[in-house]
Amino acid sequence: MPKSTYRIIGLMSGTSLDGLDIACCTFEQNGESWSYKIEDAVTFKYNEEWSKKLTSIHNTSAYEFALANTEYGYYVAEKVNEFISEKNIKGIDLIASHGHTIFHQPEKNFTFQLGSGAAIAGRTGITTVCDFRSLDVALNGQGAPLVPIGDALLFSGFEYCLNLGGIANISFPSPQEEGSGVRSAFDICPVNLVLNTLAQTLGKNYDSEGDFARSGSLNNNLLEKLNNLDFYKTTGAKSLGREWVEQVFFPVLNSFEISAEDKLNTVCEHIALQIAKHAKDATSKMLVTGGGAYNSYLMERLKIYTQTEVIIPNNQTIEYKEALIFAFLGLLRFEQKNNTLASVTGARTDSIGGAIYLGEI
């Protein structure tokens, strides 16, 4: 039975492997609008074992993969239980778990996010919504991005919502149907998937504030080759996954025998240019979230190329906006309301994505 107020735990694990984000969120409905509050949130960093497994599991046997899906579900449940106990949280209605994307090949009608919803529901006793992307892909959609409906309903004060995680994605009202609630959104380019990998060759997990990139020099030949990749010439619904980054982006990057600092500098320039192509309105505001928002050098380069006002919010919103929105997508799924927009994914129709595993009744 629909309620006016929900308390939901949203879970997010991004391709940049920063860790498992857990956010306890409350949502309150007033007429057709929703308000939200992130009550508490935490990121559980992956240990070496899980980092290695999540990085390599796509190359293992079917048995090992199936086992990892269940084991990761139990791991997630353990962390949720720990979070609930430590924060003394009561009255959770749902858990909404994005899972960790291992495969994303919508051109083959295939996507997979690791983390058994049954395992999460079984070990926490809380009804769990998971597997948000598969239905849209089955409807010939990209299965991504999924956050735009949350952007529209929870962050309507911003014309553009940009997330800089492993991959950059952007969401904004459709220019053709301004005011209709229809949105345009798509993945733009890789961000932390590449930046973190380069920083790791310099002994750091990530390029803190973009200091390595700032110390490097721009390589115009590399920049030109990256900007001319075929993906950037396509229009409409489009998404990126680990596979494209490994098979297309890195081979170009690795063909240049230049320092990691120069590569970081050039990739930051590339990212800023690609984003700026889609955010040009000088009268608009762009909310920037995700780990890339902390990269001061990248933000400086972005501000050079776009006239749109760049808004960097508080740390909690930067780090947990995606977990918040997946909590909201779980709410919509539970209420049997559309949570995936065909205008964004290119699917045949809007849909109500997500599998539900009931907790203890």
pLDDT in tens, 176-195: 545 445 788 999 999 999 99
Mean pLDDT for the chain overall:
94
With a cut of 90, say whether residue 360 has pLDDT above it: no
pTM for this model (two decimals):
0.91
Q: Give per-residue pLDDT as tens, 193-211.
A: 999 999 999 999 999 899 9
Predicted local distance difference test score (pLDDT) of residue 180: 45
With a cut of 70, say whether residue 1 has pLDDT above it: no
- How far is 259 from 218, CA to CA, in rounded Å? 11
Reference 188, options 244, 139, 137, 136; nearest CA is 244
With a cut of 50, say whether residue 57 has pLDDT above it: yes
With a cut of 90, say whether residue 121 has pLDDT above it: yes
Predicted local distance difference test score (pLDDT) of residue 179: 46
Per the CB < 8 A criterion, the answer to whether 165 and 191 are in contact is yes
User: How many Cα atoms sit within 13 Å of 34 on the Cβ side?
Assistant: 24
Mean pLDDT for the stretch of residues 298-308: 97
Domains along the chain? Answer: 5-143+320-357 (3.30.420.40), 148-316 (3.30.420.40)
Mean pLDDT for the stretch of residues 265-285: 95
User: CA-CA distances (angstroms) from residue 70 to 21, 65, 67, 131?
Assistant: 19, 9, 5, 14
Structure tokens at 308: 């749109």
- How far is 117 from 166, CA to CA, in rounded Å? 23
With a cut of 70, say whether residue 361 has pLDDT above it: no
Neighbours of 150 (CB within 10 A): 24
User: How many Cα atoms sit within 13 Å of 254 on the Cβ side?
Assistant: 10
With a cut of 70, say whether residue 169 has pLDDT above it: yes
